[in-house]
Amino acid sequence: MTLDELKKLAVSMLDRSYVPYSHFPVGAALECSDGEVFTGCNIENAAYSPTLCAERVAVGKAVSEGHTDFVRIVVAGRSENFCTPCGVCRQLLYEFNPDMEVISLNAKGEELSVPLRVLLPHGFGPDYLLKE
């Protein structure tokens, strides 16, 4: 899949977002090493904590279908700023590939491409866990 196609998928998810509180839609398109793509949109909740970010929805869909080898993700928003993943999403993505490419879009379609390891330096990974 081309980057432009991946970006279009992420942007298309903006209209599927459920954002009655923040009115801040986010769309994501997650590409696996085999070319399979999983999309997501943010889903808010009145209690706030159960709110799901678009990136976590896409990861959940991918993992539930047996995919864990992620190479890049596009995250789209409608603000002037680049829509980068929140800290929780950065940590979740780090679990699968600290070196994956994270492409953040703003409302103008401009992009910022950064390796996940740069967005989450010193991320907590499996190597931090005690081994038996």
> Active site includes 55?
yes
d(CA 90, CA 107): 21
Greatest C-alpha distance within the chain: 50
Report d(CA 38, CA 32) in Å as an integer.
8
Q: Which of 5, 36, 44, 55 is catalytic?
A: 55
Please enumerate in sequence order all residues whose Cβ is within 8 A of that of 23, keeping only pairs 6 or more positions apart, or say none: none
In whole angstroms, what is the distance from residue 126 CA to residue 2 CA? 31
Q: What is the DSSP letter of 72?
A: E
Q: Which amino acids are annotated catalytic?
A: 55
